[in-house]
Amino acid sequence: MQSIVRPIEHGDFEDAQAVYRAAALGVPDGIYSPSIKAEWANRTNSEFLEKSFSRQRFVAQLGKTIVGYVGYDQNRSTLTECYVLPAYQGFGIGKQLVKRVLRCANEDRLEKLTVLASKNAVQFYEGCGFSVERAEALVMGDGRLLDCYRMSIYLAAG
């Protein structure tokens, strides 16, 4: 499934937030508890997405529908997030988004790019060339921990 990957625009932020929430809530049962998934899904909002100026964001669009988005922070050498609507996962859209960020990171001449991957995303990022560095935990708004993994990829430009 080939989507158009383009820079996020002002009118896309609510759609990107909906993608984020649907993807967080759509994590298969048994990986994280329903209450952790609910907290995760409410962790961001469209205002946050719009005002995170240090990050570049791109959306994947099929027709008129935003089906995924990805974030990149050059200053931290980090792929900050990558989410795809559950109904569109497994069709290569996430990989298209990650490739866009890898192209940016190479253009920025970074040596290495990192991502903090949820447990359900480790295999996806490995398929994109990332390797697990270590287990970590992300502190949620209510103080609970979301178990995840710090992953990285070395870049040709570096």
pLDDT tens sequence across 19-68: 999 999 999 988 988 888 888 888 776 566 666 655 789 999 999 999 99
E-only strand ranges, the chain: 4-7, 56-62, 65-73, 78-84, 112-118, 131-139, 145-154
More confident residue, 157 or 60: 60
Spans of all domains in the chain: 4-154
What pLDDT score does 53 carry? 58
pLDDT of residue 50: 61
Per-residue pLDDT at 41: 85
In the numeric block, which tokens belong to residue 115?
Answer: 């991502």
CATH numeric code, 4-154: 3.40.630.30
**Contact in structure between 67 and 18 (CB atoms under 8 Å):** no
Distances (CA, A) of 81 to 44, 63, 91, 101, 116: 11, 23, 18, 10, 8
Partners of 72 in beta bridges: 56, 79
CB 56 within 8 A of CB 72: yes
pTM for this entry:
0.90
pLDDT digits (tens, 9 = 90+) for 70-114: 999 999 999 999 999 999 999 999 999 999 999 999 999 999 999
